[in-house]
Amino acid sequence: MADDLGRRATRHAVVIGGSLAGLLTARVLAEHAEKVTVVERDRLPEGPDARPGVPQGRHLHVLIAGGQRALDELLPGFMDELSGLGAPKVGVPEDMIQWQNGQWFRRTPATAHFYSGPRAQLEWLVRQRVLADPRVELIEGTETVGLTGDSSRVRGVRLRERGARADKEPRTLAADLVVDASGRSTKAADWLADIGAEAPHEETLDTGLAYGTRVYRAPAGDPGTDATGYYIVPNPGQVYGGVVLPLGDGRHLVTLSGLRGDEPPTEEGAFEEYAKRLPHPVLSEWLARAEPESPVYGFRRTANVRRRYDRPGRRPAGFLATGDALCAFNPIYGQGMAVAAISAVALRRALADPKRTPTTRQVQRALLDASRQAWDISAGADKKMPGATGDAARPGPMDKAVGWYLSRVQARAAGDPVVGAPFRAALTLTAPLTGLFAPSVARAVLFGPVAETPAEPPLRRDA
- All CATH 3.50.50.60 domain ranges in the chain, comma separated: 12-61+122-204+302-380
Structure confidence at residue 2 as a pLDDT band (50, 70, 90): very low
Round to whole Å and give the CA distance between 189 and 208: 24
CA separation for the pair 409, 243 (Å, rounded): 22
Global pTM exceeds 0.85: yes
Taking residues 260-267, what's their average pLDDT? Answer: 93
Q: What percent of the chain has pLDDT over 70?
A: 96
Supply the pLDDT for residue 50: 76
Span 58-67, pLDDT tens digits: 788 999 999 9
- Give residue-wise pLDDT tens across range 114-154: 999 999 999 999 999 999 999 999 999 999 999 999 999 99
Domain(s) labelled CATH 3.30.70.2450 in the chain stretch across 209-299
The confidence band for 14, taking pLDDT boundaries of 50, 70 and 90, is very high
H helix or E strand, kind and range, residue 285: helix 282-289
* Cα separation, 183 vs 160, whole angstroms: 18
205 pairs with which residues across the strands?
A: 304
> Across 163-303, where does the E strand assignment appear?
171-174, 177-180, 201-205, 210-217, 229-232, 241-246, 251-258, 291-292, 297-299
CA distance 45 to 53: 11
pLDDT value at position 348?
98
Any idea what DSSP says for residue 344?
A: H
**What value does the mean pLDDT of the chain take?**
93
- Asked if 148 contacts 195 with a C-beta cutoff of 8 angstroms, the reply is yes
pLDDT band at 219 (very low <50, low <70, confident <90, very high): confident
Hey, which bits of 259-391 come out as E strands? 291-292, 297-299, 304-308, 319-321, 327-328
Model pLDDT, residue 1: 34
Closest CA to 113 of 71, 73, 72, 63: 63
Q: Assess contact for 92 and 424: CB atoms under 8 A.
A: yes
Fold designation for 12-61+122-204+302-380: FAD/NAD(P)-binding domain (3.50.50)
One CATH from 3.40.640.10, 3.30.70.2450, 3.60.10.10, 3.30.230.30 for 209-299:
3.30.70.2450
Spatial contact of 162 and 18, defined as CB atoms under 8 Å apart: no
CA angle 422-392-382, nearest 5°?
Answer: 50
Distance CA 63, CA 429 (A): 11
Arithmetic mean of pLDDT, 105-110: 96
Question: What Cα–Cα distance (Å) separates residue 420 from each residue in 67, 168, 410, 425?
Answer: 20, 58, 8, 9
CA 398/CA 376 separation, integer angstroms: 13
Residue 8 has pLDDT above 50, yes or no: no
Quote the longest CA-to-CA distance of the chain: 69
